[in-house]
Structure 1
Amino acid sequence: MAMQQYIKEFSYNIRLAYPVILGMLGHTLIGIVDNFMVGNLGSTELAAVSLGNSFIFIALSIGIGFSTAITPLVAEADAEKDDKKIRTTFHHGLLLCTILGVGLFILTVLSKQIMYFMHQPKAVADLAAPYIDWVAFSLIPVIIYQGYKQFADGLSQTKYSMYAIFMANVVHIFFNYVLIYGFWIFSKMGILGAALGTVISRIMMVVFMDLLLRKNAAFQRYFQNFSFKEIRKSVLRKIINLGLPSAMQMLFEVTLFTAAIWLSGSLGKNNQAANQIALTLASSTFMVAMGLSVTAMIRVSHSKGMGDFKNLIVVARSIFLLAIILETFFGVVFVVFHNYLPHLFLNMTDASQSIDNQEIILITAQLLLVAAVFQISDGIQVVVLGALRGLQDVKIPMYITFVAYWVVGFPISFYLGTYTHLAAVGVWIGLLAGLSTAAVFLYIRFVILTRKLVVACNGN
């Protein structure tokens, strides 16, 4: 009977999640397009983009994690039918996202010198430095966009961010092509062209999102009367108290994967290029779990606002089950096609690259076998995190993720990658250990918390 209840929720969960998933894949597509187009320039250029993006991912994780605080607050206010609270949360959240975007841009540019202390190949680091300068600027519009997105998600209107990202991807592909390779009036810029293409597309992403929401009658009342006089410290503090731990949760995970990039880089450019290809593929399937995580956050927040904790548990578990089914499917795909997928990211017709390409394919194929296993752990931990954010429980999960990724995962990655013959595969085994630990203990936290809520509700 319980299984039937969970399956009954699948259709609504998918309807809510698929625009988020497609939007997340649109985000990932920007990176895939960069890797695909830059990969044709050579393995050094591909490794440079990988290294440069590792810095951007760290900053972006903070911005995205922080912005997730907007969604549960808006969803809860929507359940309470409190339009004033929704508008206030949106305005304060957008202001904080703008300030954070500027701050992260400055910090990222200042931190790029760290590359030269991380034993990265000098040729790769020299190419990555100017790339970072430009792509770091795109953090400002992309985090502002996140403010809009999380607001719309909180109102269960998940399709608008999908439309904005799709349109931004069209812009990105065009400018990437003409700026990387040179066409018509545009000169050939190599990886700097990829960076500029990303900046232009992310600025347009905000423009598209703003226009889509403003033109919709259902959203217009939330855009009215923005004034700095209405800014309240209490509201800012509430968003920061939810946003900061959420940002740290995401930071701990992204920095673990960033450390994997750096560890792979210290093993040589082909290990780093293989790591980037495998990470791009794993990130693409992870976006499905991320979409379900947003769905969990929205639906759990709404149930919390309604005070319906028994239904909250059913909804959350149905999303967990759906994530396990889908991520298991992706894991099987990785196992079946692990020898073929790496070819999509390499120029196989260039004879001068053939030796490097053979090594990259061999390493990537091994990494995809490990990724096939951690698909499930990664999916579970992210959807449970979404449910916990919906409950506005962020501090304990922050501690859990820190221990899982940096006390368990990273030491294993470092030891196996540095001191054993496993090399890059050993690095990924550490990732698997960290993600599995997080999945187990976050789920235990969810069970304990929801039982307390049901008991407290029944007691009243």
Structure 2
Amino acid sequence: MALSAYTKEFRYNFKLAYPVMLGQLGHVMVGLVDNLMVGQLGAAELAAISLGNSLIFIALSIGIGFSFAITPLIAEADGENNIENGRSFFHHGMILCGINGLLLFVLLLFLKPILYSLNQPPEVVDLAIPYLEIVAFSMIPLMLFQGFKQFADGLSQTKYAMIATLFANVVNVVFNYLLIYGVWIFPRLELEGAAIGTLISRFFMLAFIYLILKNKKKFIPYFVWSKRKQLDRSIFKRLFGLGFPTAMQMFFEVALFTASIFLAGLLGTNAQAANQIALNLASMTFMIAVGFSVTATIRVGNQKGKRNFTELRRIAFSIFFMVLVIQAVFALMFIITKGILPTFYIDNAEVISIASSLLVVAAIFQLSDGLQVVFLGALRGLQDVKVPSWICFVAYWLVGFPVCFYLGQEEILGAMGIWLGLFVALSASALLLYLRFNKLTKRLIESNLE
């Protein structure tokens, strides 16, 4: 197939992807703002943010994974022009998201003592616990926001979540500034101030997206809320069947990166702070790929609803090619600016030196990291989630983690070894997920011709 068959899709791919990218970057910006502002307080405070967020990220991966089940079902219903089915998936999905938010809040409070038993620097743990307690409560509004976001994404309306997230970031910056440093009439709360800023911004984000969607003409038919008797156990079961494996996919990956935080903590406060800087920067470029992953889910889901599998494969590959090019550019940027970027976070020569070396490895795994998440998005559009979950488990925990653990020992490669293990894990995941997508789409095309 000629290259133009793929490149002609680039404009529409980008149109769908860029609001998701900006929205996802908005989520990361919450962490970035916390890191930049708290980093001015010292290395211990920055490491505490990293440690507290390690559990938050695990819970977040599970909750977002469940919410992702909404998008392919809405996209397929939209492809079939079936508003009634779409409305039902939306309402059932929102109920699940609300329950998830509450359960994750309770789970985080229950798990917080685990930080004391992970052999982390005591001063870091003492700072992390109050931060964790406050941010944990923000899981409730955040999961409800995710329900609205995934619903709108499924209808190819990706810009509204972006707008809500960007405005929420402004709110977060303002309250962080006021509460971390104690400006004007506000008390100086330092890490707890950062947590309260995050909490306020997430409630704002939820209210904002709700008010936007319920008043837009396209969404009005979906906001005729179902009565209790209209709730269907089979739809909850279908959402759970898609959401649980997707949550596990995200959990396996996020848990590996969280393990890297704990392994870095064993090397000392400076190594942990450097690890957090590199993770934060890598996560920002990763969110660009996440935008295209959501685009893949939407477009593949639409074509699945139309049963046009040849187009499905062509469109998916156009997205894969875009991600490959974009992530290659980011890899080059990391290599060129590796000595500059860490200086924005902290004024500590040792932390900056370690972070600069980690960014070289981060540059190398940009390609595999971007590709594996977009392959996952395409498979999610096919509603194929169980086998990809096993692939993620094998790649991250049977292949990648042993490399992280062995090479990450202080007497071998230290922090650099941890990141080489991450590279191995992401590369294994990308290869296996591509093979899975290639096999399934060829089979669908062949079965459709019979």
Q: Above 0.5 in TM-score?
A: yes
The residue number in structure 2 matching 1:436 is: 427
Is the partner of 1:185 in helix, strand or coil? coil
Q: Which residue of 2 aligns with 1:411?
A: 402
Shift, 1:231, TM fit: 1.2
- Which residue does the alignment assign to 1:351? none
Following the alignment from structure 1 to structure 2, what is the Cα–Cα distance between the partners of residues 167 and 419? 43
Match of 1:11 in 2: 11
The match for 2:101 is 101
Residue among 368, 371, 374 paired with 2:365: 374
Q: Kindly state the Cα deviation for residue 402 of structure 1 after the two structures are TM-superposed.
A: 0.1
Cα distance in 1 between the residues matched to 2:231 and 2:177: 43
Matched, 1:454 2:439: no
How many residue pairs match? The answer is 450
Work out the CA distance in 2 between the residues paired with 1:367 and 1:399.
28
Tell whether the 8 Å contact from 2:57 to 2:254 is kept in structure 1 after alignment.
Answer: yes
Q: Which residue of 1 aligns with 2:355?
A: 364
Give how far 1:108 is off.
0.7
Aligned to 1:324: 324
Are the aligned partners of 2:267 and 2:410 in contact in 1 as well (CA < 8 Å)? no
Does 2:291 align with 1:291? yes
Q: Aligned ranges for residues 250-399 of structure 1 at < 5 Å?
A: 250-346=250-346, 348=347, 357-399=348-390
Residues 283-310 of structure 1: CA deviation (Å, up to 9, x unaligned):
0000000000000000000000001000
**How far apart, in 2, do the equivalents of 1:227 and 1:170 lie?**
37
Distance 1:61 1:365 in 2: 27
Post-superposition shift, 1:421? 3.0
User: 1:284 & 1:132 partners in 2: Cα distance?
Assistant: 22
Q: Counterparts of 1:88 and 1:209 in 2: how far apart (Å)?
A: 19
Residue in structure 2 matched with residue 115 of structure 1 by the alignment: 115
3-state SS in 1 of match to 2:197: helix
* Residues in 2 aligned to 1:372 and 1:323: alpha-carbon distance in whole angstroms: 14
- Report which stretch shifted further, 84-93 or 110-119: 110-119
Between the aligned partners of 2:156 and 2:26, the Cα distance in structure 1 is 19
Q: Distance in 1 between matches of 2:264 and 2:257?
A: 10
In structure 1, C-alpha distance between the alignment counterparts of 2:274 and 2:112, rounded to whole Å: 22
**Alignment map for 1:31-180 (pairs within 5 Å):** 31-180=31-180
Query: How far off is 1:225 after superposition?
Result: 3.0
The superposition leaves residues 218-263 of structure 1 with CA deviations (integer Å, 9 ceiling, x where unpaired) of: 1111111332222110000000000000000000000000000000
Q: Could you say which residue in structure 2 is the equivalent of 1:224?
A: 224
When normalised by structure 1's length, the TM-score is: 0.97
Unaligned 5+ segments in structure 2 are: none
Shift of 1:419: 5.8
Code of the aligned partner of 2:383: Q
Deviation at 1:2, TM superposition (A): 2.7
Supply the distance in 1 between the matched residues of 2:217 and 2:183 (Cα, whole angstroms). Answer: 41
Q: Is the 2:93–2:147 Cα contact (8 Å) retained in structure 1?
A: yes
**Letter matched to residue 402 of structure 1:** F
**Kindly tell me: are residues 185 and 419 of structure 1, through their superposed partners in 2, closer, same or farther at Cα, counting changes over 3 Å?**
closer
Shift of 1:114: 1.0
Question: Does the Cα contact within 8 Å between 2:88 and 2:226 map onto a contact in 1?
Answer: no
- Map Cα deviations across residues 204-230 of structure 1 (whole Å, 9 max, x no partner): 110000001011111111111332222
Measured after TM superposition, the shift of residue 57 of structure 1 is 0.3
1:2 and 1:97 map into 2 onto residues whose CA distance is 43
* SS across alignment from 1:87: helix
CA distance in 1, matches of 2:231, 2:57: 30
Of the structure 1 ranges 7-16 and 386-395, higher mean CA displacement relative to structure 2 is found in 7-16
Return the alpha-carbon distance in structure 2 between the equivalents of residues 310 and 335 of structure 1.
Answer: 38
**After alignment, is 402-411 or 211-220 more displaced?**
211-220
Alignment of 1:184-263 (within 5 A): 184-263=184-263
CA distance in 2, matches of 1:125, 1:118: 10
Instruction: Give the Cα separation in 2 of the matches to 1:179 and 1:272.
Output: 25
1:414 counterpart letter in structure 2: F
Report the alpha carbon displacement of residue 420 of structure 1 after superposing the two structures with TM: 3.8
Give yes or no for the alignment of 1:402 onto 2:393.
Answer: yes
Q: For 1:189-218, what per-residue CA distance to the aligned partner results, in whole angstroms no more than 9, with x for missing partners?
A: 000000000000001110000001011111
Give the counterpart letter for 1:156 in structure 2: S
State the shift of 1:109 in Å: 1.0
**Aligned-partner Cα distance in 2 for 1:321–1:227:** 45
Q: What does the per-residue CA deviation read over 1:68-96, in whole Å, with 9 as the maximum and x for residues that have no partner?
A: 10000000000101000010000000000
SS at match of 1:418: coil
Amino acid at match of 1:451: K
Describe the SS at the equivalent of 1:2. Answer: coil
Q: 1:425 offset after TM fit, Å?
A: 0.5
Q: Distance in 1 between matches of 2:228 and 2:44?
A: 48
| C-alpha distance in 2 between matches for 1:227 and 1:95 | 12
% of aligned pairs identical? 55
| 5+ residue gaps, structure 1 | 349-356
In the TM superposition, residue 150 of structure 1 has moved relative to its aligned partner by 0.3
Residue type at the aligned position of 2:208: F
Contact 2:91 2:225 in 1 (8 A): no
Q: What letter is aligned with 2:322?
A: L
CA distance in 1, matches of 2:116, 2:2: 55
Residue by residue, what CA displacement relative to the aligned partner does 1:321-349 show, whole Å, maximum 9, x if unpaired? 10010000000000001011100111x3x
Runs of 4+ in 1 over 6 A off after TM superposition: none
* Equivalence for 1:354: none
User: Which amino acid is the alignment partner of residue 333 of structure 2?
Assistant: V
CA separation of 1:247 and 1:86: change in aligned 2, threshold 3 A: same
